[in-house]
Amino acid sequence: MTSTSRKTEDPATAPSIAGARPTRQRRAVASALQSFDDFRSAQDIHDLLRRSGENVGLSTVYRTLQALADNGDVDMLRTEEGEAIYRRCSTSHHHHLVCRACGRTVEVEGPAVEKWSDSVAAQHGFTDVSHTLEIFGTCPTCA
């Protein structure tokens, strides 16, 4: 390899925001996201960082999380109460099976659902279609 600078994309590691500076704060948030498997709120993640010694402003946590979500690098959904919660995720389109008790989350795919959704929308003449779908239940451990 020559001395030419390259984008060094870590294969399976924390995501970075396209066209943004990889600051200490953004790295810290991205890293924190790797440390849990359930959905957490911006404030939860802020606390997590605080406790782990990383000092990141709450505003920055909000901003970073939103940027990552817009970028498709984390999944964001809303609690019953309307609070935004985040979780790292695979990049392909998928949905979630979430435990109501402990928050444990499984990513699931359903090609049939995708097709159904598009077809139903088409039947009614809707275009530019998207959808949201989450499944909630009690996981084996919590049952």
Partner DNA sequence: TTCTTCATGAGAATCATTCTCAATGCGATT
Partner DNA sequence: AATCGCATTGAGAATGATTCTCATGAAGAA
Question: Binding residues for DNA, per CB under 7 A?
Answer: 20-26, 41-43, 55-60, 62-64, 66, 82-84
Taking the least distance from each CB to its own copies, the nearer of 52 and 129 is 129
* DSSP three-state, residue 95: strand
Piece in contact with Zn ion (CB under 5 A), picked from 18-26, 44-52, 57-65, 111-119: 111-119
Q: In what order do the strands lie in the sheet with 74-78?
A: 40-41, 84-88, 74-78
- Should residue 133 be labelled a site residue for its own copies when binding is judged by CB under 8 A? yes
Among 37, 38, 79, 102, binds Zn ion (CB under 5 A): 102
Could you say which of its own copies, Zn ion, DNA, none residue 35 binds, taking C-beta under 5 to 8 angstroms by partner kind? none
Taking the least distance from each CB to its own copies, the nearer of 20 and 108 is 108
Inter-residue contact 22 to 16 (CB < 8 Å) = yes
Helix axes 58-70, 24-33, angle to 10 degrees: 70
97, 90, 49: which is closest to 73 by C-alpha?
A: 90
Among 60, 63, 97, 103, binds its own copies (CB under 8 A): 97
Inter-residue contact 86 to 101 (CB < 8 Å) = no
